[in-house]
Structure 1
Amino acid sequence: METLLIPASLFAGGLLAVQAGANAQLSKATGSPFAATTLQLSVGTLALLVLALLTGTLTAAAALPHVPWWHAVGGVASAIYVVSTILLFPRLGAIVSVGLFIAGQMLASFVLDVTGLAGDAPRTVDAPLAVGMLALLAGAAIIVKGQSGRQSHPVAGKAGWIMLALLAGAVLPVQGVVNGLLRHDLGAPLVVGAVSFLVATLAMAVALLFSTTVLRAPAPTLQGLPSMPWWGWLGGFAGAIYVTTVFTAIPVIGASAAIGLTVAGQQVASVFVDRHGWFRLPQRDVSALRLTGVVLLLAGVAVIKLL
């Protein structure tokens, strides 16, 4: 099981690059990032429900009224993360925001491992874990430094937004742990994923309503959907695979390794997306410094898992 989850986590992280490209197309078609994310999450929910029905595990949902309520709300983390990206990118810039998201993920996964909240016995902060985490954080910092393009969003005096970025990254490993608890309750990974996505969809629908009624953001439109490329709908499927893989992997390989692998997979895939301009995203040169950061991420995971 463990040997399968390591490449699966790397692959699931790579799918986040696909999700980003697909969501960009959906956002353009609807005229609203909130509407695009709500639609994307709806697609993921439907896909997981269909798979649960086909595999005969949908009946496990009958046990939901008997589980602790907070075991079922892990999907809120996805909404927090998406809303944070929408708020932070114009204020901190994409490069700094992504770097802070990664740092938040790494730090939260470290805390989950050493406290035992990830579903396993608490891990002692030994040399391999310390060296591995330092390599992961160094890799994340180098990736941010190695991004091409000039950063035009100074972060001085924006401590509140920086804390929000760290929090938005930190909630993702916590989501994996909470979903893992729900899996223990229900014993059906596909149903757990569907519940997580349904909660995330409802949370994003509330965010969409708030943005249009209180913030007076433009109402979304569906007129652009017919001209959107077919792969604009793939974001929901990519997200469903990512979420299901993470909550399955964390109790088996540990939060630090699982999150490190998904971050590394995302960065490896992003290198190819940036280099070739896939999914109609801007084509960018990939610096040697950024590649070094990706290698450090993978090295950090290897140290944590193998030593």
Structure 2
Amino acid sequence: MYILIVLGMIAGMMIPMQTAVNNRLTFFTKAILPTSFYSFLTGSVMLFIINFIMDPGKFTISFFETQSFSYVWFGGGILGVIFLTGNIILLPRIGAALTVIAAVTGQMVIGILIDTFGWFGAEVKPLHFMHIVGVILLIAGIIYMNMKKSSTISQSYSRLWILFGLCTGMMPPIQTAINSELRYEVDSFIYAAFISFLVGTIVLFILAMCVNKGIKLTRTSGDYKLKPWHFAGGILGAAYIASNISLMPYLGVTLTMMSTISGQIIMGLIIDHFGMFNLPKYPIDQRRIVAVIMIIGGIALLNFF
């Protein structure tokens, strides 16, 4: 159990790294949707190669003839795009801190509901009072970590936008549950991750063509030159989704999301502290340390009860 939680945290650490890498790629695409498209495309290509080497039979006509192509084939990828697009819409309206808080709160609420009622084929795990305490402690830690930033915009945000953020924040746990069900349908968590990425790539291509009128990519941007590592975001994202699909049946949706969120926050602190990926430095202070302790405490309560 503890090893799986650590693996979940490591998987979560890939998300801030993916965001930082994609941020650099945006210099060359000049827009968020094309950046996300190239990120998804890279992940799709990598997952295709892995799947083709491991089990080429899953790409034959006879394999597809045996499939029902239910909603689980398409739901995960579409939900991932909804979450991404929702964050893009929210960020300029309520700021980064409240966007994160709203999304995480939505993830926690829907994660507990999925575990408690066994939605999307998830194993039923009875709700315990300490589970609620753990979620409250984790959310309190996230709010405390972002308190200074959120207070500067507390007078201007809209309650409707916060509610919208809660709804879009519910997408990742549902995506994980659907992808886990797809895993059993295709008998491979790596293949399930590929399908999710492929659907997301197609949806993002359509969105980019409609919104940005193309998916342009320049080789230079000022003093910066396009390098291979700028496309690593897709690989990191693919590893994250594959990890979630493989962990969810053993940890449950709630604990899987808790461990990955903790990993995201820890890696975010490391990136900020050292200014990795040429980002501004924000040294770790007492407030951030206390917040991380609160978050880890919330995960512990979810694990022990």
TM-score computed with the length of structure 2 as normaliser: 0.90
Shift of the 252–221 alpha-carbon distance from structure 1 to 2, 3 Å rule, reads same
Shift of the 271–123 alpha-carbon distance from structure 1 to 2, 3 Å rule, reads same
Are 1:93 and 1:151, in contact at CA under 8 Å, matched by a contact in 2? no
Residues 154-180 of structure 1 deviation map (CA, whole Å, 9 limit, x = unaligned): 464622321221122110000000001
1:16 aligns with 2:15: yes
What aligned pairs does 1:77-226 form with structure 2 within 5 A after superposition?
77-117=79-119, 119-145=121-147, 149=149, 152-154=152-154, 156=156, 158-213=158-213, 220-224=216-220
Q: CA deviation at 1:259?
A: 0.2
- Equivalent residue, structure 2, for 1:277: 275
Shift of the 190–60 alpha-carbon distance from structure 1 to 2, 3 Å rule, reads farther
> In structure 1, what is the Cα distance between the partners aligned to 2:157 and 2:140?
24
> In structure 2, what is the Cα distance between the partners aligned to 1:172 and 1:249?
14
> In structure 2, what is the Cα distance between the partners aligned to 1:257 and 1:91?
30
> In structure 1, what is the Cα distance between the partners aligned to 2:181 and 2:169?
20
TM-score computed with the length of structure 1 as normaliser: 0.90
Shift of the 220–160 alpha-carbon distance from structure 1 to 2, 3 Å rule, reads farther
1:56 aligns with 2:27: no
Select between 296-305 and 220-229 the one with higher mean Cα deviation.
220-229
> In structure 1, what is the Cα distance between the partners aligned to 2:66 and 2:164?
32
Q: CA deviation at 1:288?
A: 1.9
Q: Any idea what SS the aligned residue of 2:5 has? A: helix
What aligned pairs does 1:231-250 form with structure 2 within 5 A after superposition?
231-250=229-248
Are 1:110 and 1:255, in contact at CA under 8 Å, matched by a contact in 2? yes
Are 1:106 and 1:133, in contact at CA under 8 Å, matched by a contact in 2? yes
Shift of the 150–104 alpha-carbon distance from structure 1 to 2, 3 Å rule, reads closer
Are 1:120 and 1:251, in contact at CA under 8 Å, matched by a contact in 2? yes
> In structure 2, what is the Cα distance between the partners aligned to 1:228 and 1:60?
33
Instruction: Give the partner amino acid of 1:294.
Output: V
Shift of the 94–157 alpha-carbon distance from structure 1 to 2, 3 Å rule, reads closer
Match of 1:294 among 292, 295, 302: 292
Residues 219-256 of structure 1 deviation map (CA, whole Å, 9 limit, x = unaligned): 73433388134321111011001111112211211111
Instruction: Give the partner amino acid of 2:104.
Output: I
Shift of the 65–18 alpha-carbon distance from structure 1 to 2, 3 Å rule, reads farther
Q: Any idea what SS the aligned residue of 1:69 has? A: coil
> In structure 1, what is the Cα distance between the partners aligned to 2:204 and 2:260?
23
Count of residue pairs brought into register by the alignment: 300
Q: CA deviation at 1:104?
A: 1.2
Instruction: Give the partner amino acid of 2:207.
Output: A
Instruction: Give the partner amino acid of 2:85.
Output: V
> In structure 2, what is the Cα distance between the partners aligned to 1:219 and 1:261?
34
Unpaired segments ≥5 residues, structure 1: none
Are 1:13 and 1:266, in contact at CA under 8 Å, matched by a contact in 2? yes
After superposing on structure 2, the runs of 4+ consecutive aligned residues of structure 1 that deviate more than 6 Å are none
1:253 aligns with 2:254: no
Instruction: Give the partner amino acid of 1:55.
Output: M
> In structure 2, what is the Cα distance between the partners aligned to 1:58 and 1:235?
28
Identical positions, percent: 22
> In structure 1, what is the Cα distance between the partners aligned to 2:280 and 2:196?
31
Q: Any idea what SS the aligned residue of 2:268 has? A: helix
* Superposed CA RMSD: 2.3
Q: CA deviation at 1:93?
A: 0.8
